[in-house]
Chains A and B, each alone.
Chain A
Amino acid sequence: DAKTTQPPSMDCAEGRAANLPCNHSTISGNEYVYWYRQIHSQGPQYIIHGLKNNETNEMASLIITEDRKSSTLILPHATLRDTAVYYCIVRVGRDNYGQNFVFGPGTRLSVLP
């Protein structure tokens, strides 16, 4: 079972920031938060991951609350090409035999012109 809860869908205006929330209230101390996205029926694409500190890369920012029970993926200037299903996943990051990524239904983000 997925250890995360995400809203099923969200809309965002083109050029605005898209803020995608994720609840992971049962996260363990050694579990990371990963974000992937899937555009149409393509293979999922890695976006970003973090443990407890906020993270930023060329694609997005990840904000993790201090208690680590929730996080937000931020796409700072959403474009039409960011329309996709976004998956929030928690799992142990290091070599961990038997624990794999569990993809729940995710959030379908629609970026509107």
Chain B
Amino acid sequence: DADVTQTPRNRITKTGKRIMLECSQTKGHDRMYWYRQDPGLGLRLIYYSFDVKDINKGEISDGYSVSRQAQAKFSLSLESAIPNQTALYFCATSGRQGLETQYFGPGTRLLVL
């Protein structure tokens, strides 16, 4: 969905490096999410934010941090990347009202060597 963009789309990094994944949305949604997906598995929630001042840990937040710079931007950081953080990362957004259908970005494929 072009309304949710992620950069970079692919990234290779080395163990111990700091890396930031960025997400931007033009849907005007308050809520944003970061998920990771490992091969053959479903998505697991890392962090979520219900507005700029509200950030919450998800199921697997260890080793990650986030920043909600604005309503439209939500960044995920790996302070010191490790190989088991190699995965596909998705950002998603949803509105505050109604049934909160989530809209996903195209994903970032991260390889940690």
Contacts and interface: CB of A to CB of B under 8 A. Distances in A.
Contact of B90 (A43, A98, A105): A43
A20 B97 CA distance: 29
Interface string B2-19: 001000000000000000
B64 interface: no
Main secondary structure of the interface of A (DSSP, over half): loop
A43 B92 contact: yes
A100 B56 CA distance: 11
Contacts of A104: 42
Interface string B87-111: 0101010001111111111110100
Contacts of B42: 2, 87, 102-106
Interface stretch (A10-18, A44-52, A74-82): A44-52
Interface stretch (B43-51, B67-75, B76-84): B43-51
B101 to A, nearest CB: 5
A100 B101 contact: no
Interface of A: 2, 32, 34, 36, 41-46, 49, 87, 93-95, 97-98, 100-106
Closest 8 CB pairs of A and B: A43-B104, A103-B42, A103-B43, A93-B99, A104-B42, A46-B101, A44-B104, A105-B42
